[in-house]
Amino acid sequence: MTGNDLQSYAPLLLHLTLAMALSGVLVLLSSLVGWRRPSTTKSQPYECGITPTGDAREPFSVKFYLVAMVFILFDVEAIFLYPWAYIFRELRWFGFVEMILYIGILLVGYFYLWKKGALDWNRPAVRRDRAS
C-alpha cells in the first residue's frame, strides 16, 4: 500500500519538484554570480517614459473589492455545481429541483446586487449616492 496511492501523481510531483528546483537554482545563482551596481535610474519603476509621481500604493476604489467579493461568492456556487453535474443523471428530477432551488436563492442575491448597482462600474452608483 505504501506509495502506491500517489503513484498516479508521480508526473505532477516531478513537475512540482522540477519547477521548484529550477526557480530556486536560478534565483540562487543570480544572487551569487551576478554583481550589483545600484543606481537611481535602475531603481525606477519604468525604464523610460514619464517619471512617476506619488506613491504606487494609492488606496483605490471600493468597487474592486465588490467585484472580487461577487466573484468569490459565485465561485463557491460553481464549486457546488461540479459534483452535481457529475452525478445529475443518477439524481434525476430530485437533483434538478434541488439545483433550481439553490440557483433560485442565489439569483435573489444576484438581482439584489444588480439593483444596488454593485455590478455597474461607472455611472448609477455614484449618481445615486450624490442624490441622497
Partner 1 sequence: MLDQIVFYFFAVLAVISAVMVVTRRNVVQSAIFLITALLATAGIFLQLHAEFLFIVQVILYAGGIMVLFVFVIMLVSLDVSLNQVQFNRQWWLGLLLALVLGAQLTIAVAVGRAGLPLGEPAPAKMLEPSTQLVGRVLFSEYVLPFEIASILLLVAMIGAVVMAKKKI
Partner 2 sequence: MIPTSHYLFLSLGLFTIGVIGVVTRRNVIVILMSIELMLNAVNINLVAFSRLVGSVEGHVFAIFIITDAAAEAAVGLGIIIAFFRNRETLLGDEMDLLKW
DSSP string, the chain: -TTTGGGGGHHHHHHHHHHHHHHHHHHHHHHHH------TTTTSS-SSSSPP-S-S-----THHHHHHHHHHHHHHHHHHHHHHHHHHHHHHHHHHHHHHHHHHHHHHHHHHHHHHTSS-SSHHHHHHHHH-
Q: Is position 58 an interface residue for partner 2 (rule: CB under 8 A)? A: no
Query: Which partner, partner 1, partner 2, none, binds residue 118 by CB below 5 to 8 Å per kind?
Result: partner 1
Which residues bind to partner 1, rule: CB under 8 A? 1-3, 5-7, 9-10, 13, 55, 57, 59-66, 68-73, 75-77, 79-80, 82-84, 86-87, 90-91, 95, 98, 101-102, 105-106, 108-109, 112-113, 116, 118, 125-126, 129
Dmax (CA) of the chain: 70
Per CB under 8 A, the segment of 9-17, 44-52, 61-69, 114-122 that binds partner 2 is 61-69
Note whether 76 binds partner 2 by CB under 8 A. yes
- Region 77-96 residues binding partner 2, contact defined as CB under 8 A: 79-80
The residue written with cell numbers 430530485 in the block is 94
Which residues in this chain contact partner 2 in the complex, by CB under 8 A?
1-2, 62, 65, 69, 72-73, 75-76, 79-80
